[in-house]
Structure 1
Amino acid sequence: MTALTLSTSSAATLRADAVVIGVAKGPKGPVVAPGAEAVDQAFDGKLAAVLDTLGAGGDEGEVTKLPAPSGVKAPVVLAVGLGELPAEDEEYTEEALRRAAGVAARALTGTKKAAFALPVADAEAAAAIGEGALLGAYTFTAYRGEKNGKDGKSGKNGKGEPLGEATILGAKPRDKAFKAAAERAVAVAEETNRARDLINTPSNDLYPASFAALAQQAGKEHGLKVEVLDDKALLKGGYGGLMGVGQGSANGPRLVRIGYTHPKAEKTLALVGKGITYDSGGISLKPAGHNETMKCDMSGAAAVFAAVVAAARLGLKVNVTGWLALAENMPSGTATRPGDVLRMYSGKTVEVLNTDAEGRLVLADALTRASEENPDAIVDVATLTGAMVMALGNRTFAVMANDDAFRTTLHEIAEEVGEQSWPMPLPADLRKGMDSPVADIANMGERMGGGLVAGLFLKEFVGEDIPWAHLDIAGPAFHEGAPYGYTPKGGTGSGVRTLVRLAERTADGELG
């Protein structure tokens, strides 16, 4: 794990393997951003001209490496693009800093120590740089072979080894605001990376029971109360959704409750995560080409798990309860068939028209169970529908809710922390499409607007008068393309930062 430190040293005098500076896109060419003054001075004030000669323009994500001149102790200067130059009365946005730091950290893979001389206007800016660096430095090497070391990891600071230490310059190490901001950045980034590790772990190692065991282990480490219902307890308790999805697999389902409490908390949040550790589609088998990444169908549960641990690490004055609805959706002689009717934990019956619409079934049981504790709000997170990917693309998650104000709050929070989201409606007219001739409701409705139909289904299982929001993270949860900003290839940890900020705002009394 990359270490994060703060320093007020000059970018020219700090000993490091590389110094990172920011470059903005100005009207007449690249502009060296604040924080790099000492480095620019070592270039006799001609750093921008040198970068221009090398073809650097300051575009977001652009990286230019050049040898450091005399007067800079680090041997390498890495210039990273910040995008458009802000207006005179504006600062660089936290997200621009976060992305630039992430790009730089990834470019410095194998480096022991880097100094980040990016614009630091305040503690929040320093935290954004730190968070971006820690997220950008993420690597998943647990399954690399012997050539990378006996422990399955690459050699220390060798090829594939993440940046060893990121030092944020211009950040006062003894200032309470900077220290608190840095500690928050570390906790949030490390927990986001925990979620990424879970998502990237193959399903032969991460299945409901092993996922539950990891939650229990984290509970002991962070003082969390963890309760696990195994398949026998779920059957006895009438959890028809979880059992209906999980009964086709040799790996039985689990419902995990992981709770953080604060003695002075006045509000309680319930977070519910879809945890399908592998999704074959069940009897409604997915077509070829759609199975290879289905280890990521537990991304919602990973986000919830990580967010609860982050709340504990930050000591937030709010109670946060995470519900991990864990199951493996497999086809077998014992699997639920299309046309079967399940009796859910709520008592409602559901006609299963498509066994590949399984996430809403496990979430329904967990939502009902979470509602029994009467929290002040519930948020569920799920890689729920391909329809929402079609609607919003691969980088934006949907926000639906039974309360317009709560939906707006979640959308604003997501944008604030740098997670792209978009508010979506729950049109009442789509509910009729889920009418069933044999059960209270079917698990499928109209094909058009399928992501909204799924949201309407979940709404049926939320307790009365409890504000609820649904985050469909099917698009951004797993990134199959080239890394960008601080987003790696593979699991992204989508939703973690939004949930943590929601918990913070709730602790601060901002949740009505």
Structure 2
Amino acid sequence: MTTLSLSTSSAATLRADAIVIGLAKGADGPVVAAGGDGVEAAFDGSLASVLTALGATGAEGETTRIPAAGAAVKAPLVIALGLGEEPEEGFGAETLRKAGGNAARVAAGLKKVALALPYAGPQDVEAVAQGALLGAYTFEAYRVNSREGRKDPVKDLVLVGAKARDKAVKAAFERGQVVAESVNKTRDLVNTPSNDLDPKTFAAIAVDAGKNFGFKVEVTDEKALAKGAYGGILGVGQGSAKPPRLVRLGYTHPKAKRSIALVGKGITYDSGGISLKPAGANETMKMDMAGAGAVLGAMIAIARLGLQVNVTGWLALAENMPSGTATRPGDVLRMYGGRTVEVLNTDAEGRLVLADAITRACEEGPEKLIDVATLTGAMMVALGNKTFGIVANDDEFRSAVHAAAERTGEPSWPMPTPAELRRTLDSPIADLKNIGERMGGALSAGVFLREFVAEGVSWAHLDIAGPAYNEGEVSGYTAKGGTGCAVRTLVQVAADVADGTI
């Protein structure tokens, strides 16, 4: 496990296995970024020219290693990390977040590494700390020889030159760690195979989290779901031998004046049900609970940070399986609250469990509500694998959520809710059907969910189907597998609600 610390020592005098400095891309070649000037001085000002001779350019993500023999530094190795061109206003938080992640990855196998990066203020310290912990993440729970042929994560990362005694810096440093640890908790959940993470197990993990971090947890099991007429959650889960759950998480602050509800889709495995997914589409479906994982991760961070806002979190947990008891295409489900839905595609199941949870969440009168789900392949077609879409019933709230996501480094894009799509959800025998026309499928899914949001509640839907699970290359602080997408956005929105900016 990687630990982070702040130090008042200089990079040159700290005893470590390596020093990481930033290298900017200048007009005439690479330039040592602020924070690494003490190291450059230890090389008698020749460090940049030596790095140039080694082929370094300062391009973002580039790494160059140079022995420190003969230089006036305690560490035997200097690692120059490319930051790209430096804007006039200085490097942004996302550049530094990626730098922290890259530093943690290139430092794998070492015990102690100093990070001498450009810390212009507390927000930069927070970004580097967060990126470093995210970049150091590994998931080794199922490896018998867990590190065979692999390097251990770096043991200790020390941020130097960051005004370690400053209260604002300390607070930002701690905040960065708390959020990163919560993201990594969500990553663990998403990466856990479905045979070890079913609705009952997920609910038990939530109960433990509540005990450990100080929020209330209530679990509604299959009997109570039946008694409460949660037809959406029960309908999705009835084909599985592992029954569904609805979990309520409750965090309150004695000084809070505002409230928000967070609702997460938690399909612990999605086969598509009777509308079975095609070959090649099942292998990663353990990740279909990433929305619920993000809500739990966010609740942990919100509680640990002590944000002055009241938050309820709702985990709609089910396993979508085909069997003799599964919901069939053409069945009609009576949802929580009484509305009926004709199910024409059992693989459009996420919106069914979310509809029940949204209705229930609205009964408690939150001012604002965000649901998070790996909901549609159509959103991936529209926005790709790295950007999530935002659908909302309130343009101002949608813009605020988008702005919060961008500030945290999570790419997102506002999407519309065209009025004409509502009629495509009309059913000849029920109040709604669960799918509309094929074109604009991601938007009609949002229009469906909007039907279950109570009047007066500002609502946003985050479709994280693309960025929730990374099957591509590792880069920056983004690991393979579960990414923990949306945790940072949810925490930021909760903070913005608490301070009245949303």
TM-score band by shorter chain is over 0.9
- C-alpha distance in 2 between matches for 1:439 and 1:378: 26
Contact 2:58 2:84 in 1 (8 A): yes
- C-alpha distance in 2 between matches for 1:79 and 1:235: 60
Residue 214 (structure 1) aligned to one of 197, 205, 217:
205
Summarize the Cα distance change of 1:160–1:341 in structure 2 as closer, same or farther, 3 Å threshold.
farther
Residue 405 (structure 1) aligned to one of 393, 396, 404:
396
- C-alpha distance in 2 between matches for 1:50 and 1:481: 34
Q: How does 1:197-208 map to 2 (within 5 A)?
A: 197-208=188-199
Could you say which residue in structure 1 is the equivalent of 2:352?
Answer: 361
Post-superposition offset of 1:43:
2.1
Contact 1:139 1:161 in 2 (8 A): no
- C-alpha distance in 1 between matches for 2:317 and 2:154: 34
Post-superposition offset of 1:85:
2.3
State whether structure 2 residue 387 is matched by structure 1 residue 386.
no
Could you say which residue in structure 1 is the equivalent of 2:417?
Answer: 426
Letter in 1 for 2:8: T
Partner SS for 2:34:
coil
State whether structure 2 residue 105 is matched by structure 1 residue 114.
no
- C-alpha distance in 2 between matches for 1:191 and 1:68: 36
Could you say which residue in structure 2 is the equivalent of 1:296?
Answer: 287
Could you say which residue in structure 1 is the equivalent of 2:102?
Answer: 103
Residue 237 (structure 1) aligned to one of 195, 217, 228:
228
Contact 1:113 1:167 in 2 (8 A): yes
Q: How does 1:133-152 map to 2 (within 5 A)?
A: 133-145=132-144, 147-148=145-146
Post-superposition offset of 1:144:
0.7
RMSD of aligned residue pairs (Cα, Å): 1.1
Letter in 2 for 1:375: P
Residue 438 (structure 1) aligned to one of 421, 425, 429:
429
Letter in 1 for 2:457: I
Could you say which residue in structure 2 is the equivalent of 1:91?
Answer: 90
Contact 2:265 2:316 in 1 (8 A): yes
- C-alpha distance in 2 between matches for 1:73 and 1:2: 22
Contact 1:139 1:160 in 2 (8 A): no
- C-alpha distance in 2 between matches for 1:407 and 1:292: 33
- C-alpha distance in 1 between matches for 2:428 and 2:92: 54
Deviations 1:325-378 (A, max 9, x none): 000000000000111000000211000010000000000000000000000100
- C-alpha distance in 2 between matches for 1:438 and 1:490: 41
Contact 1:239 1:344 in 2 (8 A): yes
Could you say which residue in structure 1 is the equivalent of 2:180?
Answer: 189
Letter in 1 for 2:391: M
Deviations 1:284-316 (A, max 9, x none): 000011000000000000000010111110011
- C-alpha distance in 2 between matches for 1:361 and 1:228: 19
Could you say which residue in structure 2 is the equivalent of 1:23?
Answer: 23
- C-alpha distance in 1 between matches for 2:165 and 2:35: 19
Q: How does 1:455-474 map to 2 (within 5 A)?
A: 455-474=446-465
Deviations 1:453-503 (A, max 9, x none): 000000000111100000000010000011111000100000000010111
Q: Percent of aligned pairs with the same residue?
A: 66
- C-alpha distance in 2 between matches for 1:292 and 1:256: 26
Partner SS for 1:462:
coil
- C-alpha distance in 2 between matches for 1:423 and 1:326: 27
- C-alpha distance in 2 between matches for 1:394 and 1:219: 32
- C-alpha distance in 1 between matches for 2:257 and 2:110: 45
- C-alpha distance in 2 between matches for 1:318 and 1:85: 37
Letter in 2 for 1:335: A
- C-alpha distance in 1 between matches for 2:390 and 2:143: 37
Post-superposition offset of 1:174:
2.4
Number of residues of Structure 1 aligned to a counterpart in Structure 2: 501
- C-alpha distance in 1 between matches for 2:63 and 2:472: 19
TM-score, length of structure 2 as denominator length: 0.98
Letter in 2 for 1:220: K
Letter in 1 for 2:42: A
Q: Which runs of 5+ in 2 are unaligned?
A: none
Post-superposition offset of 1:508:
1.0
- C-alpha distance in 2 between matches for 1:68 and 1:328: 55
Deviations 1:366-416 (A, max 9, x none): 000000000010000000000000000110000111000000000000001
- C-alpha distance in 2 between matches for 1:72 and 1:222: 42
Deviations 1:148-196 (A, max 9, x none): 3xxxxx49xx944222111111222322101111110111000000000
Contact 2:368 2:459 in 1 (8 A): yes
State whether structure 2 residue 485 is matched by structure 1 residue 494.
yes
Could you say which residue in structure 2 is the equivalent of 1:508?
Answer: 499
Post-superposition offset of 1:110:
2.0
Letter in 2 for 1:387: A
- C-alpha distance in 2 between matches for 1:376 and 1:48: 54
- C-alpha distance in 2 between matches for 1:396 and 1:451: 14
- C-alpha distance in 1 between matches for 2:277 and 2:251: 37
Deviations 1:102-137 (A, max 9, x none): 011011112211110000111111111111101100
Q: How does 1:148-187 map to 2 (within 5 A)?
A: 148=146, 154=147, 159-187=150-178
Letter in 2 for 1:406: F
- C-alpha distance in 2 between matches for 1:308 and 1:170: 32
Could you say which residue in structure 2 is the equivalent of 1:151?
Answer: none
- C-alpha distance in 2 between matches for 1:190 and 1:160: 21
Could you say which residue in structure 2 is the equivalent of 1:256?
Answer: 247
Summarize the Cα distance change of 1:342–1:160 in structure 2 as closer, same or farther, 3 Å threshold.
farther
Decide which moves more: 339-348 or 68-77.
68-77
Contact 1:282 1:335 in 2 (8 A): yes
Could you say which residue in structure 1 is the equivalent of 2:11?
Answer: 11
Could you say which residue in structure 1 is the equivalent of 2:66?
Answer: 66
TM-score, length of structure 1 as denominator length: 0.96
Letter in 1 for 2:93: E
Partner SS for 1:109:
coil
Decide which moves more: 35-44 or 322-331.
35-44
Contact 1:198 1:302 in 2 (8 A): yes
- C-alpha distance in 2 between matches for 1:223 and 1:122: 31
